[in-house]
Amino acid sequence: MMLLYIDPGTGSMLFTILLGLLGTAGYLLRNIFVKLRFLFSGGAGKKSGGERIPFAVFSDDKRYWTTFEPICDEFEKRGRPLVYMTASPDDPALRKSYEHVSCRFIGEGNRAYAKLNRLQADILLSTTPGLDIYQWRRSKGVKWYVHVLHMATDPTTYRMFGLDCYDAVLLSGAYQADQIRTLEKLRGLPAKELLVTGLPYLDRLQKRYEEAPPLPDHPVTLLLASSWGASSLLNRYGEKILKAALATGYHIIVRPHPQSFTAEKELLARLAAAFPDSGQLEWNRDADNFDALRRSDIMISDFSGVMLDFSLVFGKPVIYADTSFDKSPYDAWWLEDEKWVFKALPRIGRQLLPEHLDRLKEIVDETLKSPGMRQSLEEVRNEAWAHRGESARLVADYLLEKEKELDGSAR
C-alpha cells in the first residue's frame, strides 16, 4: 500500500487554511444563532450602530501608537474629527489631550472585536491584519477599510490572508505593491487601492533621533533583537548566541520581541535564569525600544523588521542570523520570488552562520568597519522608506479625499 506524504511546508499551509475555515464556520454559526434569537424575540433589542464616525482608527496594541500618533496629530492640526480606538487599557493615546481627536479604550481581545464588528464609520484605518478572517469581521456599517503598514519590510510577512479583505493598503515603498498584486491574482481577489505614503512611525523616530542629546562615551554595544516564533533568533540559537555575544567582551543588550513575553514565557525565563542581568549584559523590557536602539552600535537579529528601523533611522549595520525562515504560515509562501528583506540585508550588514558563532567578535568588528556600508544602506533606505518626513500628511490627505469620494458615490 502506498503511503501518502505531505511535506512540512504544505502541511503547515493546509493547517492554516483549515483553521481559517473552522474560524469562519464558527462565526457563521454564531451569526445564525444571533439572528434566530433576534427573530424569536420579536425583533426587540438594541440596535447596532449608535453614532456614525467619519474617521476611525483601531489599534490592537499600544505599541502601534508610534504609527498612529503622527496621523492623529495631523487630524488635530486640521481640525478634523477622528476616533482612535484601542484594545490596550494603558495605551499612551488615552493620556493625550485633543480637541478634535477622541481616544477610547474599547476593551481587550474579543470585546474589542465585538464592537468593531458593529462599528458605524465611513473609513477605518488599522495596522491589524486578518480582517474578516477570524474574529474581526467587516462591519456592514463601515464603508472603507484601510491598512497602514507598521514596518518597512515585505507585506507578505503577515500570516496568510492578512491583507486580503482590506479595501486599501498604504505602503512604505513601491516594491511592496508588486507582492500584493501577485497575491491578488493568485487568489482571484479584486485589486485594492495601493498608495505609497511612507511610514509615520519612522518619520517620528527620525525626528526623535535628530533631537536627542549626544550619547556619552560608552563601550561597543551589541543589541540582540529577536523576533518571536519558531524561526526566531532566541528560539533557534538560544544559549549559544548569548554565550557567543558575551565572549566578544562587548556590552550586550538582549531585547526580545514584546510578543515573546506572552507567547514564549518559558523560553525567556530559562534564558534569563541562565544569563541574568550583569555589568556586561542587560535584558531590555522597555515598552519603547528607542533607548536600546540609540545606545547600540550594531544589532544581531533574525528576520525582524526592527533591523530596518535600526539601519534606516540610526544608520547602523546589522548582523542577521541564519534562522532558516519557515515561510509556510505566511503570505510569502505563495510567492516564488525571494522576500525583499533577504535581498536588502546583505546590503546593510552581514550574515551569521551557526558554524561561525565562535568568530562573532571578528564578524562584529569587520561589519562595523565596512567601507561600502553607508552607500548601500542609503540605497535600501530609498527603496523601503519613501516620502520621508511627509507620511502623516499623505495619509491624512488620502483619508480625507477618500471620504469625499465615498460621500459623493452615496448620493
- pLDDT at position 401, please? 98
For every residue of 254-272, DSSP letters joined together read: EEE-TTHHHH-HHHHHHHH
pLDDT tens over the chain, length 411 residues: 444 444 444 454 454 455 445 544 544 454 444 344 434 433 333 444 457 899 999 999 998 999 999 999 999 999 999 999 999 999 999 999 999 999 999 999 999 999 999 999 999 999 999 999 989 999 999 999 999 998 898 888 888 899 999 999 999 999 999 999 999 999 999 999 999 999 999 999 999 999 999 999 999 999 999 988 887 899 999 999 999 999 999 999 999 988 888 889 999 999 999 999 999 999 999 878 999 999 999 999 987 778 999 999 999 999 998 766 677 878 888 888 888 888 898 999 999 999 999 999 999 999 998 887 878 999 999 999 999 999 999 999 999 999 999 988 765
- pLDDT at position 75, please? 98
356 in the Ramachandran plot: left (φ > 0), alpha (ψ -120 to 50) or beta? Answer: alpha
- pLDDT at position 5, please? 40
- pLDDT at position 14, please? 54
- pLDDT at position 48, please? 41
- CA-CA-CA-CA torsion for 168, 170, 174, 176, nearest 10 degrees? -70
- The residues, any chain, with a CB within 8 Å of residue 162's CB and separated by 6 or more, are 129, 130, 133, 155, 331
- pLDDT at position 228, please? 85
Q: Residue 227's closest CA among 315, 136, 163, 320?
A: 320
- pLDDT at position 17, please? 54
The 3-class secondary structure across 32-74, one letter per residue, is: HHHHHHHHHCCCCCCCCCCCCEEEEEEECCHHHHHHHHHHHHH
Length of the chain: 411
* Inter-helix orientation angle 391-409/200-211, to 10°: 150
Burial class, 45, CB count within 10 angstroms (exposed 0-12 / middle 13-18 / buried 19+): exposed
* Bridge partners of residue 256, in order along the sequence: 226
- pLDDT at position 335, please? 85
- pLDDT at position 29, please? 52
